[in-house]
C-alpha cells in the first residue's frame, strides 16, 4: 500500500486518479483550493485518506500542509503535481498581466513548493517517485495558449534537472497526460473537446502507469498511452 499525494485533486484528472488509486488499495492524500469539493471528498473517501484545502501558489500554505501530512501519514511514496490552470485563449500580447502571473504561480511555483516541502522527507525515508504533470504543450506549441505552453516547458526543464539531483533510486518524471475532455480542455477548445476520452477512462491507463514507475524511468519524458 502506497501513500500518494495529489495536488488539484477535486476534479478532472486529479479526481479520476484519486478514485483509481483508492480502488487499487492505496492511501490518497490530496489538496484543492475548493473547500466544498474537499469536504465532499472527505465524506466519500473517509480515513485513512486525507484531503485538505490548500492553495499551492501560497508557499506558507503548502509548507504547513506538508508538515501536517508527514506528521500524520509519513512521507509520500508518490508525489503527483497535477494542479494547473490554463489561460483564456488569446494572443500573448492580449493576456492580462494578472492572469499570466497566476498561471506561473500555480503551474510552476506550486510544483516547486510541493517538491521543496515534501521531497526532503521522502529522501530521509530513502525512496520516492515525483510525477510532474506536463502537457503536449510542454513539448510543442500552439497559438493563443502561449502562457500555458511556457509553464509546461518550464515543468519539463525543472523535472529533468530534478532527476539529476535526486539520490540514486529515486524517480522524477514529466508526464504528458494526453488529450482528455476536462474543464481545462473545454476552456482551450470549447465543444471540440467533447470528442475526447473522459478522465475516468484515462485514469484506467494512467494509474497503472504511475504505479509502475521505477528508477529506469527517472528523467524521461513520458506520456500516458
Please return the burial class of 152, using the count of CB atoms within 10 Å of its CB with bins 0-12, 13-18 and 19+: buried
- Neighbouring C-alpha atoms within 13 Å toward the C-beta of 11: 12
> How far is residue 214 CA from its own chain's centroid?
18
Q: Which residues are catalytic?
A: 148
Amino acid at each position: 500500500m502506497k501513500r500518494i499525494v495529489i495536488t488539484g485533486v477535486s476534479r478532472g484528472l486529479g479526481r479520476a486518479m484519486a478514485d483509481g488509486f483508492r480502488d487499487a488499495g492505496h492511501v490518497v492524500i490530496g489538496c484543492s483550493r475548493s473547500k466544498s469539493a474537499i469536504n465532499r471528498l472527505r465524506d466519500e473517501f473517509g480515513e485513512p485518506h486525507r484531503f485538505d484545502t490548500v492553495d499551492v501558489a501560497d508557499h506558507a500554505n503548502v509548507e504547513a500542509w506538508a508538515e501536517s501530512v508527514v506528521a500524520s501519514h509519513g512521507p509520500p511514496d508518490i508525489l503527483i503535481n497535477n494542479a494547473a490552470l490554463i489561460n483564456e485563449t488569446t494572443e500573448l500580447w492580449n493576456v492580462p498581466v494578472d492572469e499570466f502571473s497566476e498561471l506561473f504561480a500555480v503551474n510552476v511555483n506550486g510544483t516547486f513548493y510541493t517538491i521543496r516541502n515534501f521531497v526532503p522527507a521522502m529522501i530521509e525515508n530513502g525512496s520516492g517517485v515525483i510525477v510532474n504533470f506536463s502537457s503536449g504543450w510542454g513539448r510543442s506549441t500552439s497559438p493563443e495558449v502561449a502562457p500555458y505552453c511556457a509553464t509546461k516547458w518550464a515543468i519539463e526543464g525543472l523535472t529533468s534537472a530534478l532527476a539529476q539531483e535526486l539520490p540514486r533510486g529515486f524517480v522524477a518524471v514529466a508526464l504528458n497526460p494526453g488529450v482528455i475532455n476536462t474543464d481545462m480542455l473545454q476552456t482551450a477548445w470549447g465543444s471540440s473537446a467533447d470528442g475526447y476520452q473522459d478522465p475516468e477512462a484515462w485514469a484506467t491507463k494512467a494509474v497503472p502507469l504511475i504505479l509502475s514507475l521505477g528508477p529506469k524511468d527517472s528523467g524521461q519524458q513520458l506520456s500516458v498511452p
